[in-house]
Structure 1
Amino acid sequence: MWSFNHTASNSPIFSFIGIPGLKAAQIWISIPFCLLYLLALVGNALLLILVKAEQTLHEPQFYFLAMLALTDLGLSLSTMPSVLAIFWFNVHYIGLDACLTQMLFIHALSSVESGVLVAMAFDRLVAVCAPLNYTRLLTHSAAACLGGAAVIRGATLVAPLPFLLRTFPFCGANILSHSYCYLPDMLNLACGDATFSGVYGLVFVLFTFAVDVVFILASYMKILATVIKLENQDRNWKSLHTCACHLCTVFVFYLPLISLAVLHRYTQNTSPILFTSLSNAYLLMTPLLNPLVYSLKSRQIQAALRKRFWVQRVIAGE
């Protein structure tokens, strides 16, 4: 999959730049990167185990959380090979097929995560605005359908992209500005007319992230309007507190994504270090922070963690 001899094949070879200007220190930079990846993997795996093991977490909102954790695990595992290959083995080259495969997983999983965030927004909308109908509207099967729809949408819309990119010649230096394969990056390196692929990429963004952001904003406008009408101030606070975890997750996911997209599309001669920082924040900080946010803000998750920790201490005879 990885190419150490990039002249041995006629297939296009792409080069990662890593972190510009810090090549001499990359072995030291790899230490915090490895720790962050490890924390992201452990945190999301722990969330999956908790949701599966704890009967009290067998509710739609925590099923969506499990889907989010599974997606974050996929995103971490999709980018980890290229990032750690740069830092550990000084491998800066990747073949076309491997690059397209990584790009497919990154964009598909990002779309799925966006869809799961919409499902979570709908969950909070029903919980706050129609609490009496919550169990009727958000059943286990309804949660499965919403999660399945996010997966199908992501896979369907992203699937044509690798085939479109394979039709173009790549005849330049093919230097990628990130530590992984990213669609706008690859389109910029194509030698042929990539107008159609660029338009398709824009349509993909509009039908996933743009639509999702609009729905999430509309949901929270409705939630806020409902909370304002409540006469009991304590109930107002409790209603907003149930949305805090989801709101934090939305900001953590969309802010780096939107910033990176704007830099690619509307700026020229941007600092490579800025590109690298945002790209790593986009696909590393989200899987890292989501488990932390829910561990600190969700009372049900905290209770499940305390219960598991107590059980382990009892088993150990402490």
Structure 2
Amino acid sequence: MTRGGNITEITYFVLLGFSDFPRIITVLFTTFLVIYITSLAWNLSLIVLIRMDSHLHTPMYFFLSNLSFIDVCYISSTVPKMLSNFSQEEKTITFVGCIIQYFIFSTMGLSESCLMTAMAYDRYAAICNPLLYSSIMSPTLCVWMVLGAYMTGLTASLSQIGALLQLHFCGSNVIRHFFCDMPQLLILSCTDTFFVQVMTAVLTMFFGIASALVIMISYGYIGISIMKITSAKGRSKAFNTCASHLTAVSLFYSSGIFVYLSSSSGGSSSFDRFASVFYTVVIPMLNPLIYSLRNKEIKDALKRLQKRRCC
């Protein structure tokens, strides 16, 4: 599409992905396909289990089922297109498709950040105020917290997309990555990206640092409360209720911060691409496993479901 003079705007992008590793393309395709199917199976199974078992109708598992839903959308925004590009010679994505992909990816990622903050507050209320937990974490508050997480992520993503659509892309259309991400799009823009960079930095500060700060403060109070528990059994039980969430939070934030802050080339090197796989593909698969592996309530729910099927 031509726009005044000799400037030709880009109508599609080329996603190089992992095409510079032709010898292991089959291995990569198989690996990502298995991870994607496993992630969908685990997350959707967890949603169904929480929905079916009345013993799991608590704030903690309400948040967890929404986390699984976000992870399904999150991984589905990037992996299907990446898998299809493995078998195509022209690894293209339209400009509109690229914007939509980033919008879904960004919305789900930012919503997950907010939801993990809400889950940290839930653990704080459960351990630091156990007698008032039911009144503090009422069903209405839980619904509003989840809706707030979605709406905050949606609003922030829309503001990014609005700023992104003001840019012009008229040079190279090659993205050295497996999905459309903000750093790669800014590199390809032939107009000034200062405003978008400032907006991205502000959003990163808010969702990354502010959310992490709230989570750390919550777990600071949780740690103090756990240390006051006299019995070793009670202390171990309280710690186990937080360990899975703390592990998921640590993996999510550390991998994202590492990828976005360690790269000086917009995340387009081979190492950055493989590092991006961890927080875009692997973490959505690991989350249901982290929350279920040592969770007695989920194991009991699975046993009850098996007994119900047998009967």
TM-score (norm 1): 0.91
Q: How does 1:279-290 map to 2 (within 5 A)?
A: 279-290=276-287
Alpha-carbon separation, structure 2, partners of 1:270 and 1:130: 43
Could you tell which deviates more after superposition, 188-197 or 85-94? 85-94
Percent of residue pairs bearing the same amino acid type: 27
Aligned partner (choices 302, 305, 308) of residue 299 of structure 2: 302
Q: What does residue 148 of structure 1 align with? A: 147
SS of structure 2 residue aligned to 1:159:
helix
Partner of 1:120: 119
Separation (CA, whole Å) in 2 of partners of 1:252 and 1:301 = 22
Deviations 1:33-68 (A, max 9, x none): 101000000110001101110000000000000110
Q: Which residue of 1 aligns with 2:4?
A: none
CA contact (8 A) 1:48 1:66 kept: yes
- Contact (CA 8 Å) 1:64, 1:147: kept in 2 or not? yes
In structure 2, distance between residues paired with 1:27 and 1:90: 14
Which residue identity does 1:156 align to in structure 2? T
Where do 4+ consecutive residues of structure 1 move more than 4 Å? Answer: 268-271
Match of 2:194 in 1: 195
Contact 1:17 1:179 in 2 (8 A): yes
Indicate conservation of the 8 Å contact 2:32/2:79, yes or no: no
Please tell me whether the aligned partners of residues 252 and 285 of structure 1 are also in contact (alpha carbons under 8 angstroms): no
Query: Aligned-residue CA RMSD in angstroms?
Result: 1.8
Instruction: Measure the CA separation in 2 of the matches of 1:172 and 1:11.
Output: 8
TM-score of the pair, normalised by structure 2:
0.93
For residue 89 of structure 1, give the secondary structure of its aligned residue in structure 2: coil
Corresponding position of 2:275? 278
* Structure 1 match to 2:288: 291
Q: Deviations over 1:223-251 (max 9, x none)?
A: 11111122222211111111011012112
Do 1:83 and 1:180's aligned partners in 2 also have CA atoms closer than 8 Å? yes
SS at match of 1:94: strand
Equivalent position SS for 2:197: helix
Question: Would you say the 8 A contact 1:115–1:212 is kept in 2?
Answer: yes
1:192 alignment partner AA: T
- Cα drift, residue 308 of structure 1: 1.8
Cross-structure match for 1:209: 208
SS in 1 for 2:255: helix
Quote the offset at 1:191 in angstroms: 1.1
Q: Distance in 1 between matches of 2:56 and 2:268?
A: 45
Equivalences, count: 304
Change (3 A) 1:255 1:91: farther
Question: Distance in 2 between the 1:154 and 1:111 partners?
Answer: 5
Instruction: Return the alpha-carbon distance in structure 2 between the equivalents of residues 238 and 15 of structure 1.
Output: 51
The 1-side partners of 2:136 and 2:199 are apart by: 35
CA distance in 2, matches of 1:162, 1:105: 11
Once residues 71 and 268 of structure 1 are traced to their aligned partners in structure 2, the CA distance between those partners, rounded to angstroms, is 29
Which secondary structure state, in structure 1, belongs to the residue aligned with residue 93 of structure 2?
strand
- AA in 2 matched with 1:198: Q
Instruction: Return the letter of the residue paired with 2:156.
Output: L
Q: Tell me, which stretches of 5 or more residues in structure 2 are unaligned?
A: 1-7
